[in-house]
């Protein structure tokens, strides 16, 4: 049988890995796919470098549109990244009747609804396993492995850069800037690390998982996003003393909410969390990723592995190539839907605004070491319906006249916490901006 011919757009880190793994394991992959899969055309702006990577047997062009226009190409792999050029190329490939495999989480999270609609209309497949958690097959688990389940929530460490930084801050007591510099020197963080450290990359991935888990459109613009750049070493130390570790989590969950017509809504948020140190996910260290899923039939499952890198991500790209190869001749109506649910059965459940989310909190306040301070603060919390779980007091290194006051709360409404913090911050005895970190038990 004639091999499937693939066009590759972009020969960066993942593109190079995809080409190498496909070449190295071609016989194994052919046995699984039922026919050969060959990258026959590559597009890259640096054609000389690309030729050096893929050799003389593969055609190299500088214009990606040449790949899309090539009638012999069955599948297009998009590994360019970004929102604009990649979107235009993917839509052009769909219009040309090509199946598309992409690792572009930003593209899917922001423009996925438009792209999936175009693919459905044209009868082609868009596969994006590599867009979330690198080599961990989390998309396939959500779309297929857990298809019998009603999923309740997902919580994931889905950015290796931030997890490495937090691990270094905890293990070595480093400040954020020092840990970030170490991550950059090792290649874990980009020269401009904003998307990683401010939570945007994780929010792209959480948005995609949320859409698949709950059958809602991708809605990145409604995600709450908070990164780790303001975290301080003493908070990581205090969390450890209290039996927690701080992780940047992407969280999406189904919740009951009486204030909305549907009585049910979806949380979609990315932010640092205190997680009990006994939880498996709290012990995921370095640049590794992990995703916890709570579902009604199977219970809690955990997926762990490398979330980035040349060959781990290439593994996911090639898995998608094999899926497309197997299903190319299938009736489009019999293929697994892009977002797990049939397109005419998608839900209109709302994304819950962050102020309406219920969770618990870690608060650290630098206060004057004087009588009555704690009573004033606990009084404000009580007036805003916030109950206290634990209190810890520690002297600061700066002055004997001030102290760190650490408060853990029970679950409360975010809007109530916002109101309480405004009042507490206004107290003369509160000497610095209040540190707030949300807490998730994940049980």
Question: Which of 86-95, 394-403, 433-442 has the lowest average pLDDT?
Answer: 394-403
pTM: 0.96
Question: Which of 92-96, 251-255, 313-317, 338-342 has the lowest average pLDDT?
Answer: 338-342
Of 205, 247, 253, 306, which residue is the catalytic one?
205
Closest CA relative to residue 40, chosen from 65, 21, 23, 63: 23
Residue range 191-206, pLDDT digits in tens: 999 999 999 999 999 9
Q: Can you say whether residue 173 is alpha, beta or left, with left for phi > 0 and alpha for psi between -120 and 50 degrees?
A: left
Confidence of residue 383 (pLDDT cuts 50, 70, 90): very high
404 Cβ neighbours under 8 A, 6+ residues apart: 234, 238, 364, 365, 366, 393, 394, 395, 396
CB atoms within 10 A of CB 313: 26
Residue range 60-75, pLDDT digits in tens: 999 999 999 999 999 9
Report the distance separating Cα 97 and Cα 95, nearest Å: 5
Phi (first) and psi of residue 194, to 5 degrees: -55, -50
The pLDDT value given to residue 261 = 62
Q: Is 205 a catalytic residue?
A: yes
Report the distance separating Cα 93 and Cα 61, nearest Å: 16
The pLDDT value given to residue 329 = 83
The pLDDT value given to residue 334 = 85
Residue 408 has pLDDT above 80, yes or no: yes
Confidence of residue 263 (pLDDT cuts 50, 70, 90): confident
Confidence of residue 257 (pLDDT cuts 50, 70, 90): confident
Q: What is the chain's mean pLDDT, rounded?
A: 95
Bridge-based pairing of strands 75-78 and 4-9 is: parallel
Residue ranges and CATH numbers for the domains of the chain are 4-138+311-345 (3.40.50.720), 139-307 (3.30.360.10), 357-439 (3.30.70.260)
């Amino acid at each position: 049988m004639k091999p499937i011919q693939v066009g590759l757009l972009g020969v960066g880190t993942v593109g190079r890995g995809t080409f190498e793994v496909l070449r190295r394991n071609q016989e194994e992959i052919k046995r699984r796919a039922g026919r050969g899969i060959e990258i026959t055309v590559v597009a890259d702006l640096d054609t000389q470098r690309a030729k050096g990577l893929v050799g003389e047997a593969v055609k190299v062009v500088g214009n990606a549109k040449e790949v899309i226009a090539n009638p012999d190409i069955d599948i297009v792999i998009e590994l360019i990244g970004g929102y604009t050029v990649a979107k235009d190329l993917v839509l052009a490939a769909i219009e040309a009747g090509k199946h598309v495999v992409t690792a572009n989480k930003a593209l899917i999270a922001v423009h996925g609804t438009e792209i999936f609609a175009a693919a459905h209309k044209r009868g082609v497949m868009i596969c994006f396993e590599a867009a979330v958690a690198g080599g961990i097959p989390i998309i396939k688990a959500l779309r297929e492995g857990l298809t019998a389940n009603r999923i309740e929530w997902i919580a994931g460490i889905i950015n290796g850069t931030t997890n490495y930084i937090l691990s270094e801050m905890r293990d070595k007591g480093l400040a954020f800037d020092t840990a970030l510099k170490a991550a950059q020197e090792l290649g874990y963080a980009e020269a401009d690390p904003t998307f990683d450290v401010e939570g945007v990359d994780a929010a792209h991935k959480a948005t995609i998982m949320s859409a698949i888990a709950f059958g809602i459109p991708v809605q990145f613009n409604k995600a709450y996003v908070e990164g780790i750049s303001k975290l301080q070493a003493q908070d990581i130390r205090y969390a450890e003393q209290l039996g927690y570790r701080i992780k940047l989590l992407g969280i999406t969950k189904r919740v009951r909410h009486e204030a909305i017509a549907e009585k049910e809504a979806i949380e979609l948020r990315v932010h640092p969390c205190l997680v009990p140190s006994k939880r498996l996910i709290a012990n995921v260290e370095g640049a590794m990723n992990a995703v916890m899923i709570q579902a009604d039939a199977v219970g809690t499952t955990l997926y762990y592995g490398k979330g980035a890198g040349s060959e781990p991500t290439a593994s996911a790209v090639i898995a998608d190539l094999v899926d497309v190869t197997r299903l190319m001749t299938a009736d489009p109506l019999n293929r697994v839907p892009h977002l797990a649910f049939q397109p005419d059965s998608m839900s209109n459940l709302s994304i819950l605004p962050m102020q309406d989310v219920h969770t618990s909190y870690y608060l650290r306040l630098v206060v004057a070491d004087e009588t009555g301070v704690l009573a004033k603060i606990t009084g404000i919390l009580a007036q805003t319906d916030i109950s206290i779980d634990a209190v810890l007091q520690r002297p600061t290194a700066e002055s004997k006249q001030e102290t760190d006051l650490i408060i853990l709360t029970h679950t409360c409404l975010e809007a109530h916490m916002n109101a309480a913090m405004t009042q507490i911050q206004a107290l003369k005895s509160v000497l610095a901006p209040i540190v707030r970190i949300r807490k998730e038990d994940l049980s």
